[in-house]
Chains A and B, each alone.
Chain A
Amino acid sequence: MSIRLEKPWQALERLDDLPGHLGVFQLGNADGEVQFIGYAGGRSQYGLRSAIPDAVANVATATSYRLEITAAYLTRYQELLMVHQADHGRLPSANDPVDNLGRLSPA
């Protein structure tokens, strides 16, 4: 498994197809830049099916999404944040600062 989420972006028009599983996701803008990283956890009402639309409603620049189904949603979420931080020197613009985020230096 790649440590980066490298699946192709999906248009927001396809939100009806979202699975109800637990997992992580990214929202991108029109230039394919990651705007937000989120997850659908064990308390989400309908898994990714509800977590992604909820996030889209709060990220005005979001035009696309991509997701990964995983039961390890918390560690994968932290990993994606750390990788983004390592690649770009900052978190995605729509993510709040994360208390005590780890530091990765991916090869």
Chain B
Amino acid sequence: MDLSLSEEQEMIVGMVRRFVREEIVPLELNLDPDADTLAPDDRARLTEKTKAMGLYGLGIPPEFGGPEIDLVTRTLIAIEISQHRAGLYAPCYGVFGGAGLAQLFEATDDQKERYLYPTLRGEKRGFFGLTEPSGGSDPARAIQTKAVRDGDDWIINGGKIFISGADKADYGLVFARTDKDKGRNGVTCFIVDTDTPGFHVRRVVHTLRSAHYATELQFEDMRVPASNVLGEVNRGFAIATDRLTSQRIPYAAGCVGVAIKAHEMALEYVPQRETFGAPLSSRQAIQWMLVDNEIDIKQARWFTLEAADRAQRGESFRKEAAMAKLVATEAGGRVVDRCMQMFGGYGVTKDFPFERWYREMRIRRIGEGPSEVQRHIIARDILGASLR
């Protein structure tokens, strides 16, 4: 695989890099160090700029109004837009737009009218409700939320945890068990309006991400029309796994971007900082940290772009996406940790972004499937049927 950038990719990456450094980073000087939102005026102004650049709504397919940009280039952009303090979880504070819930691109025409198009117009927000208190790594077995058919409706009872954005959403995708004897073939995906009686956001779940909380949901006799089943009854798990697999590529790209930025800051700092009469960069201990950073970043970038390349070519990319997620999240953590060490006391203050990256990068080894699950996916792919 050739990972050299085309002329067009070089141009786009350069444009995005300038945008991040000239428009986003200066704003962060006046934001709370943990902020993940911009002032409305700044957000509107910068969103207009990304639209003018032709880069708004990167995850939206062209037939739904998104830009004609291939997946490898989108991954290169994802690496760039994460290169600032909030970049890991709020890349460019959302001014490049999002795809909403990509599963809705496969919805019925009626569902698209009610949910997808209003979301793309910015009129509605959705959430993705999969993980339950009984577990998130093995959702096929862990899902205990039940949906029982009642005439033209389904009645849903149960709960979800670690769900982002449910308290601000107009609707969500809720996965519920519709056949208790069929394991992963007994799960259905429902589109649920958050004003439905019986839908409750019970509490905020505080995490290492101090600007963004997750929520815990409870469903009490929540009545959902059968017309709100997304896809087919008992085929919801495929919808969930498709999303989980494809999400691993941008998830990895964000880690690569932050690692690149942290490393760049360390490279600027160590020749200037002196100890015992010589710059830090003259110390072998520091040089080796920088070398290890280079290797970690190159490896993670390669794995991430390879997964994107396979997905773009329509080949199976489940193993490659798992490897990219595994390698990038673990490498990103090591790079940020080393850079923090090189900055010494300053590295752990809120004056610099390392402490935020350190906390948030730790989550990355768990979110979207922990490292152990990624290894399990890779092993299953390598060993195939002999694993079972």
Contacts and interface: CB of A to CB of B under 8 A. Distances in A.
B89 to A, nearest CB: 13
B203 A72 contact: no
A105 interface: yes
Given A100-B168, A104-B167, A105-B200, A79 B350 contact: no
Interface SS of A by simple majority:
loop
Q: Please classify how large the interface on chain A is, using the bins under 10, 10 to 19, 20 to 34, 35 or more.
A: 20 to 34
B124 to A, nearest CB: 13
A45 B218 CA distance: 40
A43 interface: yes
B202 interface: yes
Interface stretch (B32-40, B134-142, B145-153): B32-40
B202 A42 contact: no
Interface stretch (B204-212, B266-274, B303-311): B204-212
Contacts, number: 62
Given A72-B210, A75-B211, A75-B212, A3 B35 contact: no
Given A75-B213, A78-B213, A82-B167, A41 B203 contact: no
B155 interface: no
Nearest to A99: B40
Interface SS of B by simple majority:
loop
B226 interface: no
Residue of B202, B204, B207, B212 with highest tally of chain A CB at under 10 A: B204
Nearest to A44: B32
Given A43-B32, A43-B33, A74 B168 contact: no
Interface residues of B, number: 23
B35 A74 contact: yes
B25 interface: no
A76 B211 CA distance: 9
Given A41-B34, A43-B33, A75-B212, A106 B350 contact: no
Interface in A69-107: 71-76, 78-79, 82, 99-107
Contacts of A73: 34, 210
B363 interface: no
A104 B204 contact: yes
B102 interface: no
B32 A102 contact: no
B204 A79 contact: yes
Contacts of B34: 41-42, 73-74
Interface of B: 32-35, 40, 167-168, 194, 200-204, 206-207, 209-213, 215, 218, 350
Q: Give the top 3 A-B pairs by smallest Cβ distance, nearest first.
A: A102-B167, A42-B33, A42-B350
Interface of A: 3, 41-43, 71-76, 78-79, 82, 99-107
